[in-house]
Structure 1
Amino acid sequence: MSIVRKAAITGWPVAHSRSPMVHGYWLKKYGLEGEYGRQAVDPDLAEKFYSDFSGSGLVGCNVTVPHKEIAAAACDELDDAAAAMGAANTLWLDGTGKLCGANTDGIGFLGNLDQLAPGWDSDAGTAIVLGAGGAARAIVWSLLSRNFKSVHIFNRTVSKAIALKEEFGTRTIAHPWDKLVDYLGQADLLVNTTSLGMTGKAALELDLSDLPKSALVTDIVYVPLKTDLLQQAEARGNRTVDGLGMLLHQAVPGFERWFGIRPEVDENLRSLILSDLEQDG
């Protein structure tokens, strides 16, 4: 009798995570005898949980807030992205019992654009990134990996943008938020990594008048699926990509590690998650 491989989303809280729906869809699609559940990890117990991960009964897990840094610190090996960011969102035990960690947020961001806007990075010139949090860090890293010539980071607290710039070096430039109007005209890519525009949050309130029509606009927010930023960009003729695919593509590497098959982000999966989002809305 074969042992059922089990993985889970871990964090605090995890009740509303859609990861079990994503991985459950793939397990069913590929006919695999695996399980993917939810495991709430109390912040006071997080360090012990990840340090003793081999005793959890899981072959691996996803990690959500606020445990990504603690999880990375507990790993024996990290991929380049997780090492650069000091944060891991995907863990697995290798054949020797070592705990390995990856940060797949950047992979998810790139995979989404590759799928929905093929050739988007063929002229990797100037990117403008709004925000300087954890998601921005992953996205800046991923843009530099695709050889963008310059990545301009705009944040209301400029010290956070400066800290990111210092991490990533000369191709990144930090700016205060109010300087955005001076640089929008140079953009080949505009990315919103903030929560502005999300349902229940303040609006982004951005004037795109100076943005070149050739620029691609994307938003990591996916509730609502089509944010005001994307609606405004679409109305003026810019290509746009919504944020849902980033959630789906970042899940691919973990599933492959735990269950041995590289899954596809297909239209049926996207429709399943969209339907669930609409029910919540």
Structure 2
Amino acid sequence: MKPYAEVIGDPIAHSKSPVIHNFWLDQLGMDAEYRTFHVKPEALADYFAARRADPNWRGCNVTVPHKLAALDHVADPGDVRGSIGAINTVFRDEDGGWIGTNTDAAGFHAPIAGLDLTRQPVAVIGAGGAARAILFALSKLGVGRVTILNRNPLKAAALLATFGLKGDALPLSAPLPPAKLVVNASTLGMTGQPPLDIDLTPLPQDAVVYDAVYAPIETPLLAQAHDRGLDTVDGLEMLVGQAALAFELFFGAAPPRDRDDELRARLLG
């Protein structure tokens, strides 16, 4: 059997990660594969126990709802638990141990690296594993007040404190502040999930709307932003960015990022 990595979650059929990683493997001529594997929360411990016994398993990406729970099943030498508090990647280290890390923060930041957010107001929707990585990244950028909109404002308030951010924790029904950047870090608006009902009217004309959801690519949030003429970032950009870091950890080679246009066309096809 050839070496392989995979992405786990519940649900998982929507994942585009296999398209990304298998495209890169094919471009590099590597005899390996990447696939999806459906893991329910109650089966997470059994999954890791089984994969540790498989010498061909190079690791996995971790998506909803396992980003926090997976920390209990891997080593954490980088103290991801104490910083971001969630992982999205598990890989084998040089000594054969299994390490948890998070490539979401860097993947999130890459598309907006040229945007000056110093002391600028930001709004984040959601307070789960993806939000943790995004808030961690924002905490390093010197942003201004951060407003988190979430079903449970108490959970959101705890995240503001965790990452040393000043701001407000509000229910999802609250209006947006006039933020420079709005990020949907929730599953709202994803295919098969409830819609994200939010009004972008309070945003200034130079605001950027960033949706981490990538199924569909053109979410109702991004469609509303386009109607207002706002700049947008879709979920594919974050997905490909975090995948590139994970790919190198799994397969020991840098992905061919010079083929990103071709990859994006394939993802949209």
CA distance in 2, matches of 1:110, 1:21: 22
CA distance in 1, matches of 2:78, 2:185: 22
Alignment correspondent of 2:63: 64
> Are the equivalent residues in 2 in contact too, given 1:92–1:101 (CA < 8 A)?
yes
Q: Look up the equivalent residue of 2:64 and give its one-letter code.
A: V
Alignment correspondent of 1:175: 170
Q: Look up the equivalent residue of 1:126 and give its one-letter code.
A: P
> Are the equivalent residues in 1 in contact too, given 2:117–2:180 (CA < 8 A)?
no
- Per-residue Cα deviation, 1:83-122 (whole angstroms, up to 9, x for no partner): 43433221111111221111222222112334xxxx1135
2:188 counterpart SS class = coil
Q: Give the aligned CA root-mean-square deviation in angstroms.
A: 2.6
CA distance in 2, matches of 1:124, 1:27: 41
1:81 CA drift (Å): 4.3
> Are the equivalent residues in 2 in contact too, given 1:154–1:174 (CA < 8 A)?
yes
Alignment correspondent of 2:190: 198
1:153 counterpart SS class = strand
In structure 2, list runs of 5 or more residues that go unmatched: none
Alignment correspondent of 2:53: 55
Identity of aligned residues (%): 41
Alignment match of 1:130 (pick from 114, 121, 125): 125
Q: Look up the equivalent residue of 1:98 and give its one-letter code.
A: G
> Are the equivalent residues in 1 in contact too, given 2:85–2:132 (CA < 8 A)?
no
Alignment correspondent of 2:19: 21
Q: Look up the equivalent residue of 1:140 and give its one-letter code.
A: L
1:160 CA drift (Å): 2.2
Q: Look up the equivalent residue of 2:140 and give its one-letter code.
A: S
2:253 counterpart SS class = coil
Q: How do 1:164-243 and structure 2 match up within 5 A?
A: 164-181=159-176, 184-185=177-178, 187-243=179-235
1:100 counterpart SS class = strand
Aligned length: 266
- Per-residue Cα deviation, 1:53-104 (whole angstroms, up to 9, x for no partner): 5312212222233433332122222445454343322111111122111122
2:225 counterpart SS class = helix
> Are the equivalent residues in 2 in contact too, given 1:81–1:138 (CA < 8 A)?
no
CA distance in 2, matches of 1:61, 1:143: 26
Alignment correspondent of 1:160: 155
Structure 2 CA distance for partners of 1:192 and 1:97, relative to 1, 3 Å: same
1:269 counterpart SS class = helix
> Are the equivalent residues in 1 in contact too, given 2:175–2:199 (CA < 8 A)?
no
Alignment correspondent of 1:9: 7
In structure 1, list runs of 5 or more residues that go unmatched: 276-281
Alignment correspondent of 1:34: 32
Larger radius of gyration: 1
Q: TM-score, normalised by structure 1?
A: 0.82
Structure 2 CA distance for partners of 1:266 and 1:52, relative to 1, 3 Å: same
Residues 1:74 and 2:73 aligned together: yes
Q: TM-score, normalised by structure 2?
A: 0.86
CA distance in 1, matches of 2:16, 2:159: 29
2:4 counterpart SS class = strand
CA distance in 2, matches of 1:244, 1:29: 19
Residues 1:99 and 2:98 aligned together: yes
Structure 2 CA distance for partners of 1:46 and 1:236, relative to 1, 3 Å: closer
Residues 1:140 and 2:138 aligned together: no
> Are the equivalent residues in 2 in contact too, given 1:49–1:56 (CA < 8 A)?
no
> Are the equivalent residues in 2 in contact too, given 1:213–1:237 (CA < 8 A)?
yes
Structure 2 CA distance for partners of 1:66 and 1:174, relative to 1, 3 Å: closer
> Are the equivalent residues in 2 in contact too, given 1:47–1:70 (CA < 8 A)?
no
Structure 2 CA distance for partners of 1:207 and 1:39, relative to 1, 3 Å: closer
